[in-house]
Amino acid sequence: MAELIDGRLIAKELRAAVKAQVEVLQGYNVVPGLAVILVGDDPASEIYVRNKGRAAEKVGVAAQTIRYAADLSEAEVIAKIAELNADPAIDAILVQSPLPEHMNEQHIQEAISPEKDVDGFHPENVGKLFANRHGFFPVANTPRGVMTMLHHEHVELAGKNAVVVGRSVLVGTPMFALLQRENATVSLLHKYTPDALRHQLLRQADIIVVATGVPELIKAEDVQPGAVVIDVGINRMEDGHLVGDVDFAAVEPIAGKITPVPGGVGPMTIATLLETTVELAAQHHDVTLEAGWQNI
Ligand code: NAD
Taking only the tens place, the pLDDT of each residue in 206-261 is 999 999 999 999 999 999 999 999 999 999 999 999 999 999 999 999 999 999 99
Q: Which residue range forms the structural domain that includes residue 64? A: 28-119
Is it true that the peptide bond before 98 is cis, omega within 30 degrees of 0?
A: yes
- Binding positions for NADP(+) are 166-168, 234
> Hey, which of 105, 119, 171 would you mutate to test ligand 1's pocket, going by the most ligand atoms within 8 Å of its Cβ?
171
- pLDDT beneath 70: ranges in the chain: none
Same domain, 112 and 147: no
pLDDT digits (tens, 9 = 90+) for 254-273: 999 999 999 999 999 999 99
Catalytic-residue membership of 52: yes
In a domain, 15, yes or no: no
- Residue 295 confidence (pLDDT): 75
Choose, from 6, 21, 52, 128, the residue flagged as catalytic.
52
- In short, whether 235's Cβ falls inside 6 Å of ligand 1 is yes
Alpha-carbon Rg for the chain in angstroms = 19
In a domain, 134, yes or no: no
User: Any idea what DSSP says for residue 39?
Assistant: E
Same domain, 107 and 166: no
Same domain, 210 and 261: yes
Same domain, 43 and 75: yes
284 CA distance to ligand 1 middle (Å): 33
Domain harbouring 33, CATH code: 3.40.50.10860
In a domain, 11, yes or no: no
Q: Determine how many CB atoms are found less than 10 A away from the CB of residue 223.
A: 26
Catalytic-residue membership of 160: no
**Closest atom of ligand 1 relative to the 265 alpha carbon:** 41
In a domain, 215, yes or no: yes
Nearest to 137 by CA among 241, 38, 294, 282: 282
In a domain, 76, yes or no: yes
Whole-model pTM: value is 0.97
Task: Provide the number of structural domains found in the chain.
Answer: 2
- Residue 125 confidence (pLDDT): 98
Nearest to 111 by CA among 151, 142, 84, 90: 84
ipTM of predicted complex: 0.99
Same domain, 87 and 146: no
80 CA distance to ligand 1 middle (Å): 30
